[in-house]
Each structure stands twice: as C-alpha cells, then as structure tokens.
Amino acid sequence: MHIASLLAARNHITPWRLIGETLAGCWVIALFTFTGYVLHFNPAPVGFLFLLVVVCEAILCGFWQATVVSILACVSLDYFFYPPLFHLTVNDPQDWVALGSFEISALLVSRLSSREQITSRDAQLQRTAMEQLYELSRSTLLINLHQAPGPQLTQLIQRIFAAESVAIFDAHSGRCDLAGTWGPDEEGLAKESYLAQADDEDYATHTYRRLLRAGNDSIGAIAIRGEVGRLVLDALASLTAVTLDRCVVFTKESEVEAAHQSERLRAAVLDSLAHAVKTPLTAIQAATDGLSEVGKLNPAQEELLSLIEDEAGKLNMLSVRLLQTAELEAADLSVAKDEIAVRDLVESVLEEQRGRMSGHPVEVAVADAGLTVRGDRDLLSMALTQFLDNAAKYSFDGTAVKVSAWESHAEVMLAVHNFGPAIPLNDRERIFQRFYRSEGTRRLAAGTGIGLSTVMMAAEAHRGHVWVISNSEEGTTFYLSLPQNGGNSQ
C-alpha cells in the first residue's frame, strides 16, 4: 500500500476508538490519583506519574487523546494534592505550569511518535517493495523463453504484487496479454498507452499505465490496477521491458541459429550430391569420347552425341560450383596468396569461356599491363567466370560484353558490363544470396541461383566486396573489389 494510504487509515480513527483510547487514559489517571491520595503521596511524584501517563497516551494514541488526559491530570493534581485540598484553583500559576508541561509534552511526543511511525512504515514499504522486485527479477530469469513472455509476466506480476489486474502489450508480437479482471472497454488500455506514447495514472480506480522502454525505443506498455507505489511501478516497468527485450533477442538468435543449421544441412546435402554426380558424369564423358572414336556416325547420331557432351559439360560445371561453394563455407578454408597478373587472369578465363561467349563481342580494358593482385587463382577465376556466364545468359543478342580491371585506392577492381534487362533495385543485394533468382530473369535463362553466391564468398575470403549497378539505359555492371595485398589482416 501507499504511505499516504497507511497514514489516511491511521488518521481516520472511528469515534468509538477515539473515545475508548481517551477513557483508557483517564482511567489510568484516576487509578494513580486514588493510589496517591490513599498513600498520601506528595504532588511531585504524582505529577511525574501523570506526566508519564500523558507521554504514553501521546505515543500510543495521539495528541488529542493526550490533551484530554493531560487536562484531567492537571485537575486531579490540583484538586487532590495541592492545598487547599478539594478545591480547584486553576488560576494558581503552578496549575498553569503543570497543564503547560503536560500539553507541551503531549504535543512533542505525539509529533515525534507520528514521524517515527511514518519513517517506520516508509522503511517497511521500501523493504517490501525491494523484496517483491527481487522476486520478480529472479522469476523472470526462469521464464520459458520458448513461449510467449506476455502471459507469463502478467501472472507473475499479479501474484507477486497482489495486483487486481495486469495487462501487457508487446509491440514486437503485437499481442496484448491480460491477467485478472478487466472490463470490455479496458482490455486495450496498455495498447492505447503505447500508441499515445505516454504514461497515465488514474488514482480514482488505482489504475496505472507505463511505457516499456529498451534504450530510447518503446517496445510496449503495461497497465496495472492495484495498490502499487510510483517508484515500484517505474522499476516494475523497467524489469518488464528488460524481460521482453531479452525474449526478443532470444527469438532472433534462435531464428538465426535455425537458419544457419538449415544452411549447413543444405550445404552438406549439395556437397554430397555434387560428389555423387561426379562419378556418373565421368562415365558419361568417357562413353561419349569412346562413341566418337568407334566409327563414322550419321548426322542424327552426331547431333545426339553433341547434345550429350554439352549437357554433360553443364552438369560438370554445376557440380564444380557446388563443390566450390562447400569449400568456401569450410571453416578451415585456406586462401592462397599467389601474385596474379590481372591481364593474364582475364585472358585465361576468356579463353575458357570462348564457346559460351559466342554471339557477344568481348572487349577487354586492362590499362596497366603490370597490374597484379595477391589471392587464390582458382577462386578468382571462378568468380570472373561466373560474371561472364551471367553476362552471356542475360545479354541482349549481339550486344558486347566488356571486361575491365584497374587499381583504385590500394584495391584492384574487376568489372564485367553487359546490356540486358535491368536488375530491380530490391534484388541487387539478394541476387548474391544462394538459390535466389530475380523474378525478372527467371524466364530468360535456366539457372540454380548458386553462381553469384560463390562469387560473394570468394570475395569475402579475400577480404573483398561484390556489388552490381544496373539500369535500362547504361546496362548492368558487376564489380569485384580485392585488396591489392590480398588482405593481409586475415
């Protein structure tokens, strides 16, 4: 409960209790008066006893009860112990001194007692609040992160803080979880607070709302109905926000781990498939070579043999790419740091791809014949081959393909430019993901979506980068940047 509530409960004493406390004090004064009179006590010890009664009345009951008791004590002291006995001489200075002493003592003691009670209750409330917050923080560490946090948190808060009702809105999931009794028009209180980005307090119904913040961002809101202190409420909102944020982080990490696990499984399957395909491909290629040497074939047979050789070559290239992908993903991949002449690299790749580039004139622009780069020749040849393969598949018929290389800020830049359908802006990063193919190019040529992903991994293995620039007016250019020293920081 609030400190104000406790004080209000203490100050709103029932009349019967007030009368009872006053009569109890008067009865004690009467008892001491009778005892002192019978035993012929002097006024001094009797006055001291009366003062003790007034002080006790002030401590235990309050100022007004002590005032009534002090007046009775003063009258009894004058009437039964000061001469002339059995006469009231209130105008006697000693009576005023006694009454003043009693009243001042009652006032000071009652005020000190009231202050001490407030301090004690405040300390008790703080101790209780700390215990509740500690229990909540300990309990939140034990919640099931594989389930929605909202229902668990609302039940915990309601149980620990003895709240009437609790509602939590989680902005990440968009759900609002309730515990306790809420009216039909109150179920959205937490969400309304989040949308308004404001805290709210309704003292009439003891309903309080707080935003849940993670850093500078709002991640939800909490509404609670019950006797909860302001400082406790702020700490409660902070603990709730930390728990929700921890659950979001756990969910994201789980999704990333699941994606990595799925990717590793898929890579293992493809690696196994590529190795399995290699054996029958070798047999097919050996058989086609043998058929061509058996004897003269008629035109139809030669055409079929040529088709088998072409398709076997495509399957062989696909299996090689799958194996290269698996090799690039290996944790213990060691990239060679050979010094490679860029012009020689470009010319050797073009020689290998001459058959695929038919119908597309190739222009080579390597201004510096001595330009070199340190890296793995096989990986870089594979990357450049994939760029050329893409250019051949997606260029308009008869358009030229340009291969360029130059040095820029301690980096070697390789670029392959062609004219073909523009790549949408949203796809220019995604096409480097494995198995992704742009919707606009799927119908233009067959493919698996593996090639560009291997280029990106080869670039990352060399501490380099890949990107693409594409528009309908200037065509499409794929870029590969490599540190000239081969990325020695690796």
Q: What is the DSSP string of 43-93?
A: HHHHHHHHHHHHHHHHHHT-HHHHHHHHHHHHHHHHHHTSSSTT---TTSH
Whether residue 433 is contained in a domain is answered as yes
In angstroms, rounded to a whole number, what is the distance separating the alpha carbons of residues 55 and 107? 9
**Minimal CA–CA distance to 325: which of 376, 281, 383, 282?**
383
* Cα–Cα dist 89/82, whole Å: 9
Q: Is the dihedral of CA 332, 336, 342, 344 positive or negative?
A: negative
Cβ proximity of 325 and 272 under 8 Å: no
The residue with tokens 């870089």 is 380
Element (H, E) at 406: strand 401-408
* Cα pseudo-dihedral 172, 174, 179, 180, rounded to 10: 140
Please check whether residues 247 and 270 belong to one and the same domain.
no
In a domain, 489, yes or no: no
3-state secondary structure 210-237: EEEEECCEEEEEEEEECCCCHHHHHHHH
- Shared domain for 260 and 245, answered yes or no, is no
Shared domain for 70 and 192, answered yes or no, is no
User: Could you tell me if 356 and 293 lie in one domain?
Assistant: no
Is residue 187, in this structure, part of any structural domain at all?
yes
Residue 64 and residue 47 in one domain: yes
Q: What is the per-residue pLDDT for 96?
A: 61
Q: Residue 177: give its domain's CATH number.
A: 3.30.450.40
Write down the pLDDT at residue 90: 57
Residue with tokens 């707080």: 210
Please choose, from the candidates 324, 320, 314, the residue with its C-alpha nearest in 3D space to the C-alpha of residue 446.
Answer: 314
Predicted local confidence at residue 186, as pLDDT: 85
Q: What pLDDT score was predicted for residue 344?
A: 92
**Domain endpoint, select from 200, 222, 254:** 254
Q: Which of 115, 134, 153 is the last residue of a domain?
A: 134
Looking at residue 22, its pLDDT comes to 81
Same-domain pairing of 372 and 291: no
384 lies in a domain? yes
Residues 237 and 204 in one domain: yes
Q: Do 352 and 390 have their domain in common?
A: yes
Last residue of a domain, one of 254, 280, 303: 254
Domain count, the chain: 4
Q: What is the pLDDT at residue 89?
A: 65
Looking at residue 263, its pLDDT comes to 61
245 lies in the same domain as 265: no
Has residue 317 been placed in a domain?
Answer: yes
Amino acid at site 451: G
The burial class, CB within 10 Å (0-12 / 13-18 / 19+), for 205 is exposed
Q: Which of 356, 407, 352 is nearest to 377 (CA)?
A: 352
Do residues 374 and 456 both lie within one domain? yes
In a domain, 139, yes or no: no
- 348 with 479, same domain? yes
- Strands 217-225, 362-366: pairing is unpaired
- Per residue in 150-177, pLDDT tens? 899 999 998 988 888 999 999 888 889 9
For 296, list phi and psi in degrees, rounded to 5.
Answer: -70, 130
Amino acid at the residue 21? E
Tokens of 435: 């198995």
Find the domain containing 33 and state its range.
3-134
Q: What is the CA radius of gyration of the chain?
A: 45
In a domain, 490, yes or no: no
- 228 part of a folded domain: yes
Same domain, 396 and 476: yes
Q: Which of the residues in the chain have pLDDT under 70? A: 1-13, 88-110, 113-114, 117-118, 259-279, 294-295, 314, 317-318, 320-334, 435-450, 486-490
